[in-house]
Amino acid sequence: MLDVLIVDDSAAIRKILQRVLRQTEIPIGTVYEAGDGAEALETMRRQTIGLVLSDINMPNMDGLEFLTKMRAEQIWNGIPVLMVSTEGTQAKVLEAVGRGASGYVRKPFTAEQIQEKLVGLI
């Protein structure tokens, strides 16, 4: 079973992504939630996370800073991170990939788009 961390300041998006995850054929275990990058790092220190879905624009610590800090830790280096964000320019996607994102989905998204990306990552 794969424990997942969803990082987004919107409770609505966290709820939607949780529902999408449960609809996949991927065996999902516990789904943890964080409202920003700082909360996400705290959760990762306490739990063994196998997959991260993260927004970019968030208060306190944004998704790109979270990604950079996460990838700086060797134990978290191999964990797939799917960025899910309204930021849709090529420059922003390339920046996220450069910082270690494994995949990118632009909001608004369909459940199928998220599921397709996840199958490719897991």
CA count, 13 A, side-chain hemisphere, 30: 7
Alpha-carbon distance of 67 to 57, in angstroms, equals 12
Verify binding: residue 16, other proteins, rule CB under 8 A. yes
What does the per-residue mask of binding to other proteins show for 51-90, with x meaning CB under 8 A?
------xxx--------------------------xxxxx
Q: Does 11 bind other proteins (CB under 8 A)?
A: yes
Token couple for 44: 């990762």
Helices (H) and strands (E) in the chain, counts: 5, 5
Is 98 a residue that touches other proteins (CB under 8 A)? no
Tell the smallest beta-carbon distance from residue 43 to other proteins (Å): 20
Cα dist from 41 to 36, 51, 63, 111, 117, whole Å: 9, 13, 11, 26, 23
Structure tokens at 11: 């409770």
54 closest CA partner among 1, 16, 108, 14: 14
Q: Which of 3, 68, 100, 109 binds other proteins (CB under 8 A)?
A: 109
Q: Does 23 bind other proteins (CB under 8 A)?
A: no
91 binds other proteins (CB under 8 A): yes
Cβ proximity to other proteins, 49 vs 63, nearer residue: 63
Size of the site for other proteins (CB under 8 A): 21
Contact positions vs other proteins (CB under 8 A): 9-13, 15-16, 19, 57-59, 86-91, 107-110
